[in-house]
A and B are shown apart, each in its own frame.
Chain A
Amino acid sequence: MNKIKLAGIIFIFAFLAASSGCSILQLAADKNILAVGSQLPSIKLATPQDQSLRNYLGLEDKESFSLNEIKCKILIIEIFSMYCPHCQNKAPVINEFYELLESDERVAKQIKFIGIGAGNSAFEVEVFKKKYQIPFPLFADSDLAIHKELGGVRTPYFIGICNQGERKNRIFFSQLAGFSGAQKFLDNILELADCR
């Protein structure tokens, strides 16, 4: 009986591994970890060395920080890759979105924007930042650890979360690519953000 159970378990796992191709990565994606209304998994990032970026995020100078330490009501996260043509093409309009946020003092206080480079080393993130003169903070995720936590999404992917209050960590915006314009994107964010 035990042998039959064992064979059954092995069969189920072998089937899962074969059918998923990339294993748990796809399984997680199927569950839609980033569905609107879900809680964003806990993410830790290395604190930027650049003081102006630390000031933007309202962070102290320490080794790492969790997203909730960023001083803002709403946090927008772009999952990008230096190797992704869409991310490259959309970089200028995404910069425009950041400038739009910063141009309105009230919005700038409430909304912060960061990028996480899926599978990108710190060097590669820096190359991307320099190439497109990206003014907002970018972080490396060289071993794809964060990317896996987020369900292995394709890039560029945009996530909006409430970063404070009773809805802290709640995802209110979750979208693959489709960044048609900075103002339209911001209007959409402001309309959907139901953070209290």
Chain B
Amino acid sequence: MKRKLTIILALLIGFLFTDSAQIFALSDSFHNSIYNPGLLKPLDSLLKVKVGESAPEFTLPSVSGKKINLNDFRGKKIVVLSFVPAAWTPVCSDQWPGYNIVEELFKEHDAVLLGITVDNIPTLFSWTQQMGNLWFPVLSDFWPHGEVADSFGLLRSDGVAERALVIIDKEGIIRYLGVGDINVRPPLEVLIGELQKINRK
């Protein structure tokens, strides 16, 4: 029995430590305003698109008031879609501020960035205000709720989006689909590496 107890204790301690790998809104910019949902199921949707297929078309309102249509970039720019689960949550709050200082890297690769969540405009306005002036449009996929995320197969069963990066080339073809663990921020070098690959071809 003692041995059993030791094993169970070791497993529980192990759980407590491994759990802490999550990046929890490290920046003091958000003070205590970030809601902590705890560790979430890493993936909770099935992709409806594949690399090599045409990206589903969409038009979404942005925080600035302008409506953004994916087709606007056809033949002009590579488009990077950054789906994040929800405003005021960990990881997401520490992702776009990083993208905010690498506008030059996107320009170098002839790419634009579109941030998308399923939140409404007022929520996105308040949240992104904490990040400084974002150089890229932030789009609201609020109504019909999560329709664009769902068209890519990125809408989770609780109504938020996966943490995903989608790269669409100038012909409107999906060239990269990075759908990772919702609890983990994707390293910047992966995204930049994929943009480099597209530009090399």
**Interface set of A (CB-CB < 8 Å, partner B):** 2, 5-6, 9-10, 13, 16-17, 21-25, 81-89, 118-119, 121, 123-124, 127-128, 131, 142-144, 147-148, 152, 154-156, 176-177
- Complex contacts, B21 vs chain A, CB 8 Å: 143-144
* Residue contact A83 to B28, C-beta cutoff 8 Å: no
Nearest-Cβ distance from residue B52 to partner chain A, whole angstroms: 27
- Complex contacts, A124 vs chain B, CB 8 Å: 98, 187-189
Find B94's partner among A10, A13, A81 (CB 8 Å cutoff): A81
B5 and chain A: residue at smallest CB distance: A6
- Complex contacts, B38 vs chain A, CB 8 Å: 21-22
* Residue contact B19 to A22, C-beta cutoff 8 Å: yes
Is B157 part of the binding interface, using a Cβ–Cβ cutoff of 8 Å?
no
Find A22's partner among B9, B15, B20, B101 (CB 8 Å cutoff): B20
* Residue contact B12 to A81, C-beta cutoff 8 Å: no
Is B102 part of the binding interface, using a Cβ–Cβ cutoff of 8 Å?
yes
A79 and chain B: residue at smallest CB distance: B26
A155 vs B100: C-alpha distance when bound (angstroms): 17
Given A83-B98, A124-B98, A124-B188, the answer on whether A22 and B24 have CB atoms closer than 8 Å is yes
Within B10-35, the residues touching A (CB, 8 Å) are 12-13, 15-17, 19-24, 26-29
* Residue contact B189 to A123, C-beta cutoff 8 Å: yes
* Residue contact A9 to B27, C-beta cutoff 8 Å: no
Find B101's partner among A127, A152, A176 (CB 8 Å cutoff): A127
A119 and chain B: residue at smallest CB distance: B23
* Residue contact A152 to B16, C-beta cutoff 8 Å: no
* Residue contact A121 to B97, C-beta cutoff 8 Å: no
Nearest-Cβ distance from residue A156 to partner chain B, whole angstroms: 7
A143 vs B22: C-alpha distance when bound (angstroms): 10
A91 and chain B: residue at smallest CB distance: B101
- Complex contacts, A21 vs chain B, CB 8 Å: 24, 36, 38
Nearest-Cβ distance from residue A28 to partner chain B, whole angstroms: 9
A115 vs B9: C-alpha distance when bound (angstroms): 37
Given A24-B19, A119-B26, A154-B28, the answer on whether A88 and B189 have CB atoms closer than 8 Å is no
A83 vs B105: C-alpha distance when bound (angstroms): 15
A55 vs B12: C-alpha distance when bound (angstroms): 45
- Complex contacts, B185 vs chain A, CB 8 Å: 83, 119
Find B28's partner among A6, A119, A131, A176 (CB 8 Å cutoff): A176
